Amino acid sequence: MSKSVILVSTSSATFNGNPTGVWLEEVAAPYYLFLEAGYKVTFASVTGGPVPIDQGSMGESFFTEHCKKFMHDAAAVGGLSHTTAIADCDTAGCDAIYIAGGHGCCNPDFYNDKALIAAIEGAIEKGKVVAADCHGPTVLASCKFQGKPIVSGVKVTAFSDSEEAAVGLTDKVDFLLQQKFVEQGGDFAKGDDWSPNAVSAAVGTGTLITGQNPQSSEAAANLVIAALK
């Protein structure tokens, strides 16, 4: 039986009054890598329905080959346009949950979503794989394992404080991911800004995989594939 992955995106089209959405590479790269691995991929979001795409992620320097392929793939675009609300997904029956980034993840409706938090905590408790890239790990700050923050004592990464400063949003986000995870007892593994960096760690019998930035999407997805073998 093939493995199944739920690919989760933000539903928010704005952040701090500015247009945003999912960062396209962070959906496109894992989507195609998972398909190549023979996995069933379910597109999901907080509210279901169409997922907004951050137009910045379609700029020339960010529009990767995976992105180009995605935007010309009717099945892929259709899936992202008709996502299932995470509350309606069979999270108990999936093998992995993969959370894409984008500044829409910095909105409370994402990191406080009870269904998403429960899905993540349940997957880890059942020994499954949870992965999150860039701003996707924002929701992990709301998740617990055995009464402690899910990142406590765990090697983890996410969009770094210096990268947030570089995009001018340090004072706009509710919390900085690097700072938050260190406060929660995480072993924050920062790589060079805008360079691939993904880490995998055991949480109980589960596996928590995190990527630092959009450039880490392939590395994070490949760690998921390795964990599911």
Contact, 44 vs 84, CB < 8 A?
Answer: yes
The domains of the chain are located at 4-228
d(CA 170, CA 166): 9
For the chain, the 3-state helix, strand and coil shares in percent, each to the nearest 5, are 40, 20, 40
Exposure on the CB side of residue 77, measured as CA atoms within 13 A: 8
Contact, 128 vs 134, CB < 8 A?
Answer: no
Contact, 171 vs 94, CB < 8 A?
Answer: no
Report pLDDT for 135: 98
Q: What is the pLDDT of residues 157-189, one digit of tens each?
A: 999 999 999 999 999 999 999 999 999 999 999
The chain-wide mean pLDDT, for the chain, equals: 98
Nearest to 11, CA basis, from 139, 121, 197, 119: 139
Q: What is the pLDDT of residues 22-71, one digit of tens each?
A: 999 999 999 999 999 999 999 999 999 999 999 999 998 899 999 999 99
**pTM for this structure?**
0.98
So what's the architecture of 4-228 in CATH?
A: 3-Layer(aba) Sandwich (3.40)
- Please give the average per-residue pLDDT across 149-158, as a whole number: 98
Q: What is the pLDDT of residues 79-134, one digit of tens each?
A: 999 999 999 999 999 999 999 999 999 999 999 999 999 999 999 999 999 999 99
Confidence grade of residue 192 (pLDDT, cut at 50, 70, 90): very high
Report pLDDT for 1: 73
d(CA 122, CA 93): 11
- Please give the average per-residue pLDDT across 4-18, as a whole number: 97
- Please give the average per-residue pLDDT across 144-150, as a whole number: 98
| 156 has pLDDT over 80 | yes
Nearest to 42, CA basis, from 101, 1, 95: 95
Nearest to 138, CA basis, from 10, 11, 7, 24: 10
Contact, 119 vs 156, CB < 8 A?
Answer: no
d(CA 136, CA 140): 8
Structure-block tokens of residue 66: 């995976």
d(CA 88, CA 105): 19
Contact, 7 vs 50, CB < 8 A?
Answer: no
Q: What is the pLDDT of residues 69-92, one digit of tens each?
A: 999 999 999 999 999 999 999 999
CA dihedral of residues 151, 153, 156, 162 (deg, nearest 10): 100
Report pLDDT for 106: 98
| 209 has pLDDT over 80 | yes
